[in-house]
Amino acid sequence: MSRHRGLQLESHKAQPFEQPLLVAPPPRVATMALDQGSGEEAEAVVEPGHSVRVGTVIALGRGAAAGLHSPVSGIVRDIGLRPTVRGTGRCIVIESDGHDEREAGMAPLDWRAKDSTALLECIGAAGVAGLGGAAFPTAAKLELARSTGAELLLLNGAECEPWICCDDALLREQSAAVVLGAQVMLAACGARHCIIAVEDDKPQAIASLESALSSAGDARLEVTVLPAVFPLGAEGPLVAAVTGREVPHDGLPPQVGVVCQNVGTAAAVARLVCEGLPVVSRIVTVTGSGILRPANVQAHIGTPLADLVAACGGYLGSQHTLIAGGSLTGRALTSDAVPVTKGLNCLLVATPADLPARGAEMPCIRCGDCAGVCPAGLLPQQLHVAAQADDAAALTRFGLAACIECGCCDYVCPSAIPLTARFRAARERQQLRERERRRATDARARHERHQRRLHEQAAAERQAFDEARRRARGVDQTGD
Amino acid sequence: MTSPTTSPPHIVAGFTVPRVMFQVLLALVPVAAVQAYLHGPRLLWLIAVAGATALACEALALRLRQRSARPHLRDGSVLVTAALLVLAVPPTLPWWLVAFGTAVAVLIAKHAYGGLGQNPFNPAMVGYAVLLVSFPLDMTSWPTPGAEWDAVTGATALDTLRTSLRQSYTMQEIFAGPAFGHVGGAGSEWINGGALAGGLYLLARRVIRWQIPVAVLAGIAVPAMLAHGLDPGAHAGTAFHLASGATMLGAFFIATDPVSAATTDRGRLIYGAGIGMLTWIIRSWGGFPDGVAFAVLIMNLAVPLIDRYTVPRIYGHPRK
Amino acid sequence: MSGTTLLPAIGMAATLAGVLGAVLAWVAARLPADPDSLVEKIDALLPQTQCGQCRYPGCRPYAAAIASGAADIDRCPPGGDSTARALAALLDRRPRPVDPQYGVTKPRLVAVIDEDRCIGCALCLPACPVDAIVGAPRLMHTVIESQCTGCELCLPPCPVDCITMAPPGTRSSMSDEASVAA
């Protein structure tokens, strides 16, 4: 048993490696979701009728959304609502002309000659975002690391969740790219060394990575092997496991000197400097008992998942649940027309055998198993009581904000209580309450200013009146 | 194609309350077997009576509370309560007292507080305590080991120890008496052995966590060792205490009842230690021969306070 | 208990009670609670709508009235039952629902000025307790939606009835993120 809190689960990661890495053809129709997984939408800069080429900017980055580039050459057909991972979302729909012409001016970058600011600009312009799932703009993250003076770049190759193995495939086949990407990122953010963390259930990936590192001969980079515990690949537990430091609950990793990036993101940066190509593709694991030939697929962003399923031999059997992600934190999908996004790392086509039915919910028996597995050190049974009572003070005291929604507590609960779903709902209610509180505080401040203003106005009017009266009296006395 | 959706996490471990309870019942088999061997098969009859009463009371209570009875009757938690109660009382107890105690445990200690997961007190111990104060004579007459099964009844080793010390017998004289075996009370030491075996099984299967049993045993052993070291003539040693009375049953089965115990790891250590120490104190100076039941009930009172002050540090929050 | 121990026992208990009571009274007199801090705490729980439905000219006067005992905690419809419960918890009283004679709890609405009908008389500007209406005499007026508390005090002064209450987001007026930080 590892000293890291969490679960040791059956990994289900062997099957996709019975095939080599598949390269899926570009889609006939690319559906580019403006929200690529971060929760915020990029700003579309094309309109229906525009013609685009591979690498043309179709949306500008905004806030937590990175910029978006066309993966095919063709014509923009429509901008509207389409099925996405979150249900529906606004998408730019591009019909491919089949030629895959690239945008002019794309060329390899001489990254060693550029300073960090220029590198960050290139990375930002290429729409590089967190390919581990959060899809947060990489340039912004590296910029924050640079300004805070983070000295460690931590590349996350842990991939702790069952079924997902796209990072494993990437490390086995493209370790050199990951190493190159790490070097570029080090130059961009000013970190002094880089640790690539991989879990011990990926021996081939570790071997491939170590040979790539010895070829590169860069002493700043090294590999760390972690035990295969879920959710050691989450940012908080990962930083603690590798560095021994904890990210403060109200802060970010750069505050403890670390910046985390996914290995896939590093590979995307490498592609950028080698070919000048912005992010238009990623590796997706297509797996599950409901797929004929599970495999890892190098797919273009915007490819409908149905195409990937077809590339893997199609569905097996009739009863499936489609999940974007792994079996613990993945999102269930309503249709396979959902397109690949930068944040989508796995399509799990699960049969009822893969997802054992949850029993009926029983009362909590206070067994404490949930607290034993919580990686954030929380007490889920207390949070559960507080969530049911909607007790805001208790929810804050027991640290609801620190919950990473990993699902470990749910997994072990003998009473089959849907804890994660309850905490998510409670968190939304807390945020709503916070917003109300802030609005009330602002209203009070404005009201006080309003009172003061009226006060001052009245005082000014009185003063003016007194002045006028005095002047009038003065005239009376002198004149008359 | 559309497909049915589930909410994350999509998989569960498959531990269920009935599975946990079944494991506990399984772990109680060694104790029950030893006790039945020593004191006769009447024990099994009592277990049957208690089990049937428990299920009937649970069904009645759920009906009164307008809840569906099926899932709760199947979860086996009342059967564990019934079994623990029967194993704690003398096997010569009239069956209707066993039924009465079980009814008190299920109806009052469990359902009056809200049913599964809501009882602040250990139901089996509440039933035992009510029986003890209401029918003290029946509850303190244990059969003497070696005698015929339903023949002579007398005091337990713990009881004998206390009264004999008061009558100024020496330790050697007391331990030579018929109520004493190799280490602890005759017969009682085998029962404790059976309970220990069952408890270790539960630990190995991760049904219970180590904090409570270890703390209870330490809570009994450490004061016993100190007192015996300071005044061997007035206090029995560690081995005796660990092998007598309901020590092992209490440490592994009674104190580990999750609903009435503390919930945090540090809290469990404090809770267990409190039970152990109170047991030793009651045994040494209290009015009752075995202190486990009351020690558990007293510590149940302290659980909300213990839980409040042993909240672990959350990741990312400063170490105080 | 025998007669010889009963009277001394009662006497001791009574003396103890008297002494402890006197100590408590002395402490209470020497360490009075800060009345202002109580008003602050009550005001912090109120929604700051400044609507006057509680029959006090704003939330702070109502908070002062609750603190002094002049008003009960059930007068705030915008705060709703949850505010009444929070006040009850703070003041250690029995919780009670909002009294309907002071108003009905509604979801948050904001004032929207119909620009086609607004005549620019500027009578609504001073009525707003949080200065959420922007405008000047004979110029167009508009309500800053993010700052409107929904108090409805601007509706009566308007001579042409061009102000209506609508759910937030119904119409995009001048939403001002920066003013929230001010």
How far apart are alpha carbons A150 and A203 in whole angstroms? Answer: 30
Higher pLDDT, A197 or B237: A197
Please identify, among A266, A284, A302, the residue that sits at the C-terminal boundary of a domain. Answer: A284
Contacts of A446 in chain C (CB under 8 A): 130-132, 147
Contact by Cβ (8 Å): C159, C118: no
Please identify, among A239, A256, A284, the residue that sits at the C-terminal boundary of a domain. Answer: A284
Instruction: Specify whether A365 is located in the same domain as A472.
Output: yes
With 70 as the cut, is the pLDDT of residue B222 above it?
yes
CA distance A71 to chain B (A): 25
Q: Is C9 within the bounds of a domain? A: no
Q: Mark whether B and C touch (3+ CB pairs within 8 Å).
A: no
Instruction: Specify whether C50 is located in the same domain as C74.
Output: yes
CATH number for the domain harbouring residue C129: 3.30.70.20
Q: Is C13 within the bounds of a domain? A: no
Q: Is A161 on the interface with B (CB under 8 A)?
A: no
With 70 as the cut, is the pLDDT of residue B100 above it?
yes
Q: Is C66 on the interface with A (CB under 8 A)?
A: no
Q: Is A473 on the interface with C (CB under 8 A)?
A: no
CA distance A443 to chain C (A): 6
Contact across the interface for A444 and C48, Cβ inside 8 Å:
yes
When pLDDT is averaged across residues B172-194 and rounded to a whole number, the result is 75
Q: Is C47 on the interface with A (CB under 8 A)?
A: yes
Nearest to A332 among B5, B12, B316 (CB): B5
Of B148-157, B172-181, C128-137, C149-158, which range is least confident?
Answer: B148-157
Contact across the interface for A328 and B9, Cβ inside 8 Å:
yes
Contacts of A359 in chain B (CB under 8 A): 12, 16
* Residues contacting B298, CB < 8 A, separation 6+: B274, B278
> What are the 10-residue block averages of pLDDT along chain A, 480 residues in total?
76 89 93 91 92 92 91 93 90 92 88 91 92 91 92 93 93 94 93 94 93 92 93 91 89 91 94 92 93 94 94 89 90 91 93 84 89 92 91 89 91 91 92 88 89 90 92 70
pLDDT of residue A356: 82
Domain extent for C83: 35-102
Higher pLDDT, A302 or B156: A302
CA distance C25 to chain A (A): 33
Number of domains observed in the structure of chain C: 2
For the stretch A214-221, contacts whose Cβ atoms lie closer than 8 Å and that sit 24 or more positions apart, written own/partner, are A215/A176, A215/A179, A216/A176, A216/A179, A216/A180, A216/A183, A218/A179, A218/A183, A220/A186, A220/A192, A220/A193, A220/A194, A221/A179, A221/A182, A221/A183, A221/A193, A221/A194, A221/A195, A221/A196
Q: Is C178 on the interface with A (CB under 8 A)?
A: no
Return the domain boundaries, chain B.
Answer: 17-125, 139-308
> pLDDT above 90 covers what percent of chain C?
13
Instruction: Specify whether C47 is located in the same domain as C84.
Output: yes
- For A450, nearest residue in chain C (alpha carbons): C130
CATH number for the domain harbouring residue A222: 3.40.50.11540
Please identify, among C58, C87, C102, the residue that sits at the C-terminal boundary of a domain. Answer: C102
Nearest to C130 among A438, A446, A454 (CB): A446
pLDDT of residue B4: 60
Please give the C-alpha separations between residue C73 and each of B296, C54, C58, C76, C90, in angstroms, as whole numbers: 44, 10, 15, 7, 11
Give the tens place of pLDDT for each residue, B111-133: 999 888 899 999 999 999 999 98
Instruction: Specify whether C163 is located in the same domain as C149.
Output: yes
Chain B interface mutation, best of A351, A358, A417, highest count of B Cβ atoms under 10 Å:
A358
Q: Is C61 on the interface with A (CB under 8 A)?
A: no
Contact across the interface for B11 and A355, Cβ inside 8 Å:
yes
Q: Which two tokens stand for residue A433?
A: 């309450």
Instruction: Specify whether C140 is located in the same domain as C168.
Output: yes
Contact across the interface for B15 and A335, Cβ inside 8 Å:
no
Q: Is A452 on the interface with C (CB under 8 A)?
A: no
CA distance B131 to chain A (A): 26
Instruction: Specify whether A167 is located in the same domain as A264.
Output: yes
Q: Which two tokens stand for residue B221?
A: 């052993």
Instruction: Quote the ipTM score.
Output: 0.83
pLDDT of residue C38: 87
pLDDT of residue B150: 46
Neighbours of chain A (3+ CB pairs under 8 A): B, C
pLDDT of residue A295: 94
Number of domains observed in the structure of chain A: 2
When pLDDT is averaged across residues B163-185 and rounded to a whole number, the result is 71
pLDDT of residue B117: 87
Give the tens place of pLDDT for each residue, A390-403: 888 889 889 998 99
CA distance C15 to chain A (A): 42
Instruction: Specify whether A241 is located in the same domain as A382.
Output: no
Instruction: Specify whether A238 is located in the same domain as A370.
Output: no
Contact by Cβ (8 Å): C151, C49: yes
A contact residues 96-135, partner B, Cβ 8 Å cutoff: none
CA distance A41 to chain B (A): 24
When pLDDT is averaged across residues B142-149 and rounded to a whole number, the result is 60
Q: Mark whether A and B touch (3+ CB pairs within 8 Å).
A: yes
Taking alpha carbons only, the member of B44, B75, B45, B48 closest to residue B62 is B75
Q: Is A70 on the interface with B (CB under 8 A)?
A: no
Prediction pTM value: 0.82
Instruction: Specify whether A129 is located in the same domain as A258.
Output: yes
Contact across the interface for C49 and A453, Cβ inside 8 Å:
no
When pLDDT is averaged across residues B134-163 and rounded to a whole number, the result is 69
Instruction: For chain A, report the end-to-end CA distance as a whole number of angstroms.
Output: 105
Instruction: Specify whether A234 is located in the same domain as A369.
Output: no
Q: Is A382 within the bounds of a domain? A: yes
Contacts of C130 in chain A (CB under 8 A): 443, 446-447, 450
Q: Is C43 within the bounds of a domain? A: yes
Q: Is C149 on the interface with A (CB under 8 A)?
A: yes
Contacts of A416 in chain B (CB under 8 A): 12, 16
Please identify, among C102, C125, C155, the residue that sits at the C-terminal boundary of a domain. Answer: C102
Instruction: Specify whether A367 is located in the same domain as A458.
Output: yes
Instruction: Specify whether C93 is located in the same domain as C58.
Output: yes
Instruction: Specify whether C98 is located in the same domain as C146.
Output: no
How far apart are alpha carbons A336 and A334 in whole angstroms? Answer: 7
CATH number for the domain harbouring residue C54: 1.10.15.40
Q: How confident is the model at residue C180 (pLDDT cuts 50, 70, 90)?
A: very low
Phi, then psi, of A149 in degrees rounded to 5: 80, 30
Contacts of C131 in chain A (CB under 8 A): 446, 449-450, 453
Domain extent for A138: 15-25+106-284
pLDDT of residue B183: 67
> pLDDT above 70 covers what percent of chain C?
90
Contacts of A405 in chain B (CB under 8 A): 8
How many interchain CB pairs under 8 A, A with C? 39
Give the tens place of pLDDT for each residue, C19-60: 999 999 998 888 876 777 888 889 988 988 888 888 998 899
Contacts of B6 in chain A (CB under 8 A): 321, 332, 355
Q: Which two tokens stand for residue A292?
A: 């004929």
Helix (H, G, I), strand (E, B) or coil at C113: strand
> pLDDT above 90 covers what percent of chain B?
46
Nearest to A334 among B2, B11, B313 (CB): B2
Instruction: Specify whether C115 is located in the same domain as C160.
Output: yes
Contact by Cβ (8 Å): C47, C77: no
Instruction: Specify whether A139 is located in the same domain as A234.
Output: yes
Give the tens place of pLDDT for each residue, A370-427: 998 999 999 999 999 999 888 888 898 899 989 999 999 999 999 989 999 999 999 9
Nearest to A450 among C59, C131, C179 (CB): C131
Instruction: Specify whether A20 is located in the same domain as A140.
Output: yes
pLDDT of residue C173: 40
Please identify, among A228, A257, A284, the residue that sits at the C-terminal boundary of a domain. Answer: A284
Instruction: Specify whether A137 is located in the same domain as A270.
Output: yes
Q: Is A397 within the bounds of a domain? A: yes
Q: How confident is the model at residue B149 (pLDDT cuts 50, 70, 90)?
A: very low
pLDDT of residue B153: 56
CA distance B273 to chain A (A): 18
Please identify, among C47, C75, C102, the residue that sits at the C-terminal boundary of a domain. Answer: C102
Contacts of C126 in chain A (CB under 8 A): 454
Q: How confident is the model at residue B79 (pLDDT cuts 50, 70, 90)?
A: very high
Higher pLDDT, B195 or C108: B195
Instruction: Specify whether A141 is located in the same domain as A265.
Output: yes
pLDDT of residue A96: 93
Contact across the interface for B15 and A412, Cβ inside 8 Å:
yes
Mean pLDDT of chain B: 86
Q: How confident is the model at residue C178 (pLDDT cuts 50, 70, 90)?
A: very low
CA distance A293 to chain B (A): 19
A contact residues 247-266, partner B, Cβ 8 Å cutoff: 247-251
Please give the C-alpha separations between residue A379 and each of A4, A375, A397, B262, in angstroms, as whole numbers: 16, 10, 11, 12
Mean pLDDT of chain C: 83
Q: Is C66 within the bounds of a domain? A: yes
Instruction: For chain C, report the end-to-end CA distance as a whole number of angstroms.
Output: 73
Q: Is A469 on the interface with C (CB under 8 A)?
A: no
pLDDT of residue B154: 58
Instruction: Specify whether A381 is located in the same domain as A257.
Output: no
pLDDT of residue A274: 93
Contact across the interface for A355 and B6, Cβ inside 8 Å:
yes
CATH number for the domain harbouring residue A378: 1.10.1060
With 70 as the cut, is the pLDDT of residue B184 above it?
no
Contact across the interface for A410 and B15, Cβ inside 8 Å:
no
